[in-house]
Amino acid sequence: MKTWLVTGGAGFIGSNFVLAERKLGKTRVVNLDRLTYAGNPLNLEELRDDPHHIFIHGDIGNSSLVRQLLRDHRPSAVLNFAAESHVDRSIVGPEDFIQTNVVSTFRLLEAIRHYWEELPGAEKEAFRLLHVSTDEVYGSLKPEDAPFHEATPYAPNSPYSASKAASDHLVRAYFHTFGLPTLTTNCSNNYGPKQFPEKLIPLMVLNGISGKPLPIYGDGQNVRDWLYVEDHCKALRLVVERGRLGEVYNIGGKCEKTNLEVIRVICSILDELFPDSCYKPHASLVTFVKDRAGHDRRYAIDSSKMERELGWQAQETFESGIRKTVRWYLEHPGWVESVQTGAYREWVRRHYGEQKLNTGH
Ligand code: NAD
Ligand code: TYD
């Protein structure tokens, strides 16, 4: 059985990826995660007795730990999901983003380079590093612009996207300078089970259920291109197994929606699932709040390279994916409670402040 080192595998996308991989049963997974507020061991509960999932609590920037893990487990691929991932947090406190997404990612690259350089011929040939990144590195589109493609110039606008852009550039440089067999993916907004409820969709679902305001930044007309997380995970598996070395692959859902459209769909699902709720119609909970600083207007991804070269296509429609997602949050109250810790509430209070608390719901 081959071994892959997955970093950030206790977070939203990483844990969905690890669970899917273990379900397929062909890969042993060593999972290195620092368990920040976004990393949740409950995400990996199903793997508690799985001998082929080895969880290591640690930082990708801990060079001696990473080197030892590489030596001990000899992975044939590393998939790097570990990152600080929330734009709003990067506005309030950019330093953690620079630390993890730039400095620690650089250290991870160095550790991998040393490991890879010493691998014997066939193993060296087969090794891959897949760096998981975001479409936000390309900046913001105007309504009439074509979607982002792999050659779209980088123009990051938030500390989050700037730090991810920096890591993408480092990965690119390690391919060109050292020949490290890298692959980079830039994906659009994901949604699905286990997403931390600071992000739009889970926040709206959980606030809606409990009759709290649904805070929409600005005019609610910002557009995101939504992709169900399992489709992203399938794309990543294809890229790591069949992607061309040094290449970038854009992954998106062909599913552009304004934030208001997304929230209206969630509200109508909640109306349907809770016909007797005193919060019905849930859309009445919508509350317009101050816009995010530097808020990107529109993201959209052109995934034709993924389709052409790797035969990938998103399988989930937004209509079915959003229903599955809402149901998942309803059916996992223990998980929801675990993430709604004091630290989480403190963040919500600091971030949304009085605008959210004083709306009377
Ligand atoms: P997440 O915040 O849910 O999870 C990140 C995980 O990384 C957490 O488990 C956290 O504990 C871990 N982590 C953070 N810093 C670490 C460090 N220094 N060392 C080890 N582990 C660390 O994020 P996510 O939404 O699952 O995103 C995963 C990756 O995919 C990120 O690189 C992100 O930029 C990228 N991405 C996310 C989206 C999206 O919509 N969520 C879209 C495109 C790309
Ligand atoms: P988010 O889920 O934070 O993802 P990203 O900023 O990485 O795209 O936000 C998605 C969109 O929803 C974005 O345009 C900001 C908006 N948004 C709100 O309107 N209200 C909120 O409370 C949040 C968290 C996001």
Domain boundaries, given as residue ranges, for the chain? 2-357
State in Å: Cα 350 to ligand 1 middle: 22
Q: Which residues of 72-95 are buried (b: 16+ CB within 10 A; e: fewer)?
A: eeebebbbbbbbbbbbbbbbeebe
Residue 360, pLDDT above cutoff 50: no
What pLDDT score was predicted for residue 54? Answer: 97
Q: How would residue 348 be classed by pLDDT, with cut points 50, 70 and 90?
A: low
Read off the pLDDT of each residue in 31-37 and give the average, rounded to a whole number. 94
What pLDDT score was predicted for residue 349? Answer: 72
Catalytic residue among 135, 296, 302, 316: 135
Closest ligand to residue 199's CA: 2
- Cα separation of 183 and 71, whole Å? 22
Residue 342, pLDDT above cutoff 90: no
Catalytic, 160? Answer: yes
What pLDDT score was predicted for residue 332? Answer: 96
Tell me which residue of 15, 284, 325, 66 sits closest to 201, measured CA to CA: 325
Which residue has the least CA distance to atom 5 on ligand 2? Answer: 87
Residue 361, pLDDT above cutoff 90: no
Question: Which ligand 2 atom sits closest to the C-alpha of 88?
Answer: 3
Catalytic residue among 160, 191, 329, 352: 160
**pLDDT by residue (tens digit) across 222-254?**
999 999 999 999 999 999 999 999 999 999 999
**pLDDT by residue (tens digit) across 270-280?**
999 999 999 99
Catalytic, 136? Answer: yes
Residue of 6, 7, 12, 163 best suited for mutating to test ligand 1, as the one with most atoms within 8 Å of CB: 12
Does CATH number 3.40.50.10540 belong to domain 2-357?
A: no
Tell me which residue of 346, 223, 361, 339 sits closest to 282, measured CA to CA: 361
Mean pLDDT of the chain: 95
Residue of 85, 217, 255, 351 best suited for mutating to test ligand 2, as the one with most atoms within 8 Å of CB: 217
Please compute, for residue 292, the number of CA atoms within 13 A of its CA located in the half-sphere on the CB side.
21
- Cα separation of 9 and 291, whole Å? 31
* Secondary structure in 3-state letters for 296-324: CCECCECCHHHHHHHCCCCCCCHHHHHHH
CB of 247 closer than 8 Å to CB of 183: yes
Residue 147, pLDDT above cutoff 70: yes
Q: Is 212 close to ligand 2, i.e. is its CB under 6 Å away?
A: no
Catalytic residue among 33, 136, 168, 256: 136
**pLDDT by residue (tens digit) across 261-270?**
999 999 999 9
Residue 290, pLDDT above cutoff 90: yes
State in Å: Cα 198 to ligand 2 middle: 9
CA-only gyration radius of the chain, Å = 20
Question: Which ligand 2 atom sits closest to the C-alpha of 160?
Answer: 7
